[in-house]
Amino acid sequence: MKDEILTELWAIKDQIAAETKGNTRALFERLKVIQNKSGRPIINRTQKRKMQAT
């Protein structure tokens, strides 16, 4: 069975990877720009895990 959501996500990932020519640093910078333009709150689960571990 084909998962339409995963197929779309992989297509978006491939498009962004092509735009950044496989440069990981450029990929993350591009994703930060997209995230900041979204206007949605940023959730940092890393900090939450660190707090739970202590």
Summarize pLDDT for 14-45 with one digit per residue, the tens.
988 888 898 989 988 888 898 889 988 877 77
Mean pLDDT of 1-24: 89
pLDDT at 42: 79
> In 8-20, which positions are buried (b, 16+ CB within 10 angstroms) versus exposed (e)?
eeeeeeeeeeeeb
What is the pTM for the complete model shown? 0.49
Is the pLDDT at 1 greater than 80? The verdict is no
pLDDT at 49: 56
pLDDT at 53: 56
